[in-house]
Copies of this chain bind each other. A is one copy, B any other.
């Protein structure tokens, strides 16, 4: 289990690679140095890849730009599967009309706009429109006043029997090398407990994220779960979710899980990756000649 594998040799065994984003492809300081080699190798070898991310703060187009603007041209919008996309699918299928109140930035809300639905920041919900609010969506921890708008969310959910959708299941996320920030998933858990209702969650480790990527993949080609490997830095989301969906999994030590803690955490959580690698970077010498 503590064996460190070569990421390149792992790629060679599979047809498709799913990548988590933060802690795998990028970090506080920007892109992981050398990560472009990985995608060059994937393309050279004719392998498919998807980015599977618990990020509902921006659209795939905006997410892709954050890579291409830094020179990683391989991350195109059609390669990105985000929990925000599942939220949009849910709203399309299940909420037919009225207002969708949200917590998040205007960018995050624009993305879930759907025919027949009107998005409204929770701050603008009031007595005149509350009866038309047919869903509450938790998108991002930014873009609203916590003190005022978390309380408004509690009272909206007490007054209206409507679905609450949590588009990012993380409880916290790393902000700098030393500090974390409470994520929208953590705020939503608090509100769910206070109002006592069952919220709907999208995002790893939930299978629906993997299924969404798998479905897109099968539209292009015949594929078995045995041909796909999931790469992530977090046991509780990337590895647990990948394992449960039936995929082989790679824990990389470039993010949330540090080399010195990996074995302890695997033993104490019981979440076991198929492989452990220092990072998802393919060494240049490995394939260039």
Q: Which residues of A are interface residues toward B (Cβ below 8 A)?
A: 1, 89-90, 93-94, 145-147, 150-151, 154-155, 157-159, 161-164, 171-172, 178-182, 186-187, 189-191, 193-200, 206-208, 211, 225-226, 236, 240, 243-247, 266-272
- The answer, among B147, B150, B179, B186, for a CB contact under 8 Å with A145, is B147
Chain B residues contacting A94 (CB-CB under 8 Å) are: 243, 246
Tell whether A182 pairs with B211 under 8 Å between CB atoms, given A145-B147, A269-B198, A270-B195: no
Tell whether A271 pairs with B198 under 8 Å between CB atoms, given A93-B226, A225-B93, A244-B208: yes
Tell whether A211 pairs with B207 under 8 Å between CB atoms, given A94-B243, A186-B190, A194-B172: yes
Chain B residues contacting A187 (CB-CB under 8 Å) are: 190
Chain B residues contacting A158 (CB-CB under 8 Å) are: 180
- Alpha-carbon distance between A150 and B186 when the two chains are bound, in angstroms: 12
CB of A220 to closest CB in B, whole Å: 15
- The answer, among B89, B211, B240, for a CB contact under 8 Å with A211, is B211
| CB-CB nearest in chain B for A171 | B194
| Main DSSP-derived SS at the A contact region | helix
Chain B residues contacting A246 (CB-CB under 8 Å) are: 89-90, 93-94
| CB-CB nearest in chain B for A175 | B151
Chain B residues contacting A193 (CB-CB under 8 Å) are: 171, 186, 189
Chain B residues contacting A195 (CB-CB under 8 Å) are: 270
- The answer, among B93, B151, B171, for a CB contact under 8 Å with A182, is B151
User: Is A155 touching B171 in the complex (CB atoms < 8 A)?
Assistant: no
- Alpha-carbon distance between A158 and B268 when the two chains are bound, in angstroms: 9
User: Is A270 touching B198 in the complex (CB atoms < 8 A)?
Assistant: yes
- Alpha-carbon distance between A89 and B139 when the two chains are bound, in angstroms: 33
CB of A57 to closest CB in B, whole Å: 16
Chain B residues contacting A180 (CB-CB under 8 Å) are: 151, 154-155, 158, 194
- Alpha-carbon distance between A185 and B145 when the two chains are bound, in angstroms: 20
| CB-CB nearest in chain B for A153 | B182
- Alpha-carbon distance between A247 and B272 when the two chains are bound, in angstroms: 33
Chain B residues contacting A207 (CB-CB under 8 Å) are: 206-208, 211
CB of A161 to closest CB in B, whole Å: 5
- Alpha-carbon distance between A245 and B89 when the two chains are bound, in angstroms: 10
Chain B residues contacting A211 (CB-CB under 8 Å) are: 207-208, 211
User: Is B164 touching A270 in the complex (CB atoms < 8 A)?
Assistant: yes
- The answer, among B150, B159, B181, for a CB contact under 8 Å with A151, is B181
- Alpha-carbon distance between A171 and B194 when the two chains are bound, in angstroms: 6
Chain B residues contacting A93 (CB-CB under 8 Å) are: 225-226, 246-247
Chain B residues contacting A189 (CB-CB under 8 Å) are: 190, 193
- Alpha-carbon distance between A187 and B194 when the two chains are bound, in angstroms: 10
A-B contact pairs, 12 of them (CB 8 A): A145-B146, A150-B182, A151-B181, A154-B182, A159-B178, A161-B272, A182-B190, A186-B194, A198-B270, A206-B207, A207-B211, A208-B211
